[in-house]
Amino acid sequence: MNETTLTRKCSKCHDIKELSSENFYRKHSDKKGFSKVCKVCNKKKDAERYQKKKDKILTQKKRYYRRQKERQNEKGSLLEGGEK
């Protein structure tokens, strides 16, 4: 019996690749269940986006971790105050 493999053309690089989770991310809203852009192109796009917005992303991360540390300190002081 002849096995057929499904393929998909990446809408970004136009390479034809086997339609599998090795080459495309899962996307349940798509008819075939996979993204139209291959993983390689997706990773390139994400890396470019990160480099473009690196300062903003790092600032947001620092602010998040600072706030989390403050919240943990507040929780710790509340627990210590309740034990006295």
Residue 21, in any domain of the structure: yes
Band the pLDDT of 1: cuts 50, 70, 90: very low
CA distance 74 to 54: 30
| 83 within a domain of the structure (yes/no) | yes
Report the alpha-carbon angle 62-68-70, nearest 5. 105
Model pLDDT for residues 10-59, shown as the tens digit of each residue: 999 999 999 999 999 999 999 999 999 999 999 999 999 999 999 999 99
- Same domain? For 62 and 32 the reply is no
* Domain limits for position 73: 53-84
pTM: 0.66
Number of domains in the chain: 2
